[in-house]
Structure 1
């Protein structure tokens, strides 16, 4: 199923939320950032068309560069197999077209506010030389807070694009400009015309031109003049009407020339100041506008017509005879004249009283400084300039700006506001916006000297500097318990509560010294050197060890690496000894039944002790201690008996530390 697809190995399609002429939009889950997004997928029938594919790709590239609170954000785009897609901000709300259908004509101030925000979006696009080309209510999303976002740059095109020569009219006919209908080159004023049509529809509840098909509507865009909005909705005031009709001038030169210019005028209108916009160059009268179907072709003449009275849409006008003082026609449906207190006069008096009361209430509210009541938007996360512009578009000009550090909002964005969004306020009320200065800089401190101190002193120094310590004990030549290394150098500036690791000496690094008694000089030297020790030599006579074997060693047990171990090499029996044997054999150790010294087994492994005892003429017998003895490595000799001397052939009982026997 389409809904189960994952595009680009990242975007899991959920459900379809909309479709258009070129693409379908899905709600999707970004599985990398774990957020809901909207994914726009080109329809299959267009995916193989090079022109449409280029247009789709151009949409993504153009829209991705547009940054504004009033433009739908584009996060990513790509191609998955034959599928082109764009990943966009997922919006909650409804499109402006649906809103107009549900609620009808909007309040004039709301119309101007929407127009101002669309102008802000268009201004960003036009600065990038991008013309939207499809401004219509369906592409304007109204968010829950009442603000809008412009969507779908699907047929937007960069000014210098090679696609500019495509004369197809791709916009919706109800909103296209006359020059777009003719297939002419478009500029920013084309979008302003379409925006004028959107504001017209917002103000009246209906489009200015309609017909049975797109061609007839497009022709009306070129040839007919719109009915003034006030003739459809009497609440549309002259200033807003002039703004809308100037946007919809047939000649682009007579329109507002930039979105920024139009936005400034709309904001002036919203603030209640006088709007300096001339009457439209051509307007159509009420008779032709209210249901007339004839086409009025433009000619070279210029007409200036006064704005019709608003009351003409809500009350039937008196006949021309009545206006001149004559009797009204009996066929016009009006009541005959009554010089007494008839229903008409009573109604007029009631209306007059209500008007006086309304005026008094309005005057009092203005005198007391209340101003117009508007809904305060939520501006948290907005850029400062955009937030202030939004408030001004509502008529709120008393805006106070403060700043503070904030960890949730980026620098320059609103992090707090007073009053809160969603509340009703008067346009004269003061609004305070708190702008984030970014994350609060971390407090720093200086790392103290730890090397040379005891662990206790090091911890005290770190605590005083508002730092945390982590001690590691290692063998070192430094005195036991002394700090000999720290991870961050003394004097460096770091954040408070930074963890500083330091090493405490456990004393010299000692290791087992091999037992080499009974070994030849060469073998003993190799054993000690390979274990990391230095070797020195001495010689002496021995009645116990054969000539050329080690009869004694200076260190047994453990010692620090590079310790010098002195081994004494036997020169054999001392000359003149009664038991001397001129041969190089074992001497007395080989005399069965004779009493000889039991060799010292200290520092020997089991294998070395076994060799030494056999060489001395004894029978070794080994047993393991129950567990290890502190300071003695597994398989090393712990004790032996008898000691001193024994008869050759006797059994020597040897106890070694527990462990696997040496081979």
Structure 2
């Protein structure tokens, strides 16, 4: 915004020029041009006038009415809250400008204290019609939240739809703020405030400022009803009620807030006439018979004009007051309120990409730097925190340090192998990790009931370092497998089941064994290399020694017979001396042929000697 001189008409004007970086954005350009058209078509005393519009050097500009003074926001900062008279004076002027807009079929959509200008000479005007749209095109879709969130109506928040009643809602919030010095809904995030607009009722101003009268409570709550149909139809209807409060007259009934009136009490005509009846009154037709004749203007525009004349007559005292306030705040008010020295609020940046967070800070004329820090909650590469923290008010060009997450901190893993379960769990927690569970108890892996392996959630080894608060699972040794050799099947089964093993008969086998008696257990049968508590096992049961049949060696040479028996695993003997064996023939054996004997059994060979 620049201050210029109109050389043709010799007057000072305000020149509003679009920023270079916004020229390429068609939506901003359209809103910029819309502001000129909206304000120009109104031509109302309570709307900032637009004299010209054009493009110079590729930059669109508006030539506007220059109003030396302050905004309503600055007045609220200086006084905190306004008196009832001040609220009435400013409210009536704002409503007059809105009434003209609504009568022309326009909705402002961004009514807030920043857009209410208080001139040094007592004039009060609404500015910034850049968001104004025709009522017939009230669906705003993605543009619904372009207005300040603290003043958006529930239908704009939830459905992106606005009409004259949305401006009425914004006026009700602004009137609440003028009377109490604060907004009705607060929150750290914009969506928290939007949610309250959509789901909560605006409290009565008297709950925060006991000096506020009940008539203001009723008006504020009427204007801020969540359902649009329950509010006044437009600013013209509200201005009648505000004028009634100013003049000390009883308020007429509304559709949602009934007021008790004596029978026959006259009410302002436009507060009870329908839209068609208003047009009829404006055209000179009589109103309904039951409505008391009034001398007030019939249309919202005419009422606004009459209100402007009244304000001009009694605005001199307020002009003097504003001049004093402006003089007192001329230096500090501009410098600390909107100038280079004003404080800015550090935004919430947690979870954002560092590039996006840096851009957000630079947009607020803050400088960003980055450090690294570990975080359990924020993904690596995103902002964990800022210093100063979100919500802190700092000077422009201040440095804000962004702490960017490196993920969880890597901590050294303590030695857990060989510890008892309780001792291992204590070590895990003291080291900054989380104990998970005992996955298995495995035999033949160290001393019974001690840790033999620690793993992560995927079952892999931990290594030397592990992320803080990471989960650690343990495998515990069940000790050595018991020896069941030589035990009966029942005794072996009982021993194994006491250790948590499942003995399955289907896995049992039987084998010959020269040392283990038939029916006793030779050993344990497992299904894999690792045996855990709960594993299935079988038993290798002895058949006793294997038996072989004694052959018939009768008629063989003695030495041939003995060799035959020895080849079959027996131990043959004979009573014939070695020197005579070549003259002897076998006549039988003892035990006899056909007997079943184990390998190694001794068999005596009988023989006869023939020296012929």
Q: TM-score range by the shorter chain?
A: 0.3 to 0.5
Relative to total residues, which structure has the larger helix share, 1 or 2? 2
Kindly indicate whether structure 1 or structure 2 has the higher relative contact order, using CA contacts under 8 Å at least 6 residues apart.
2
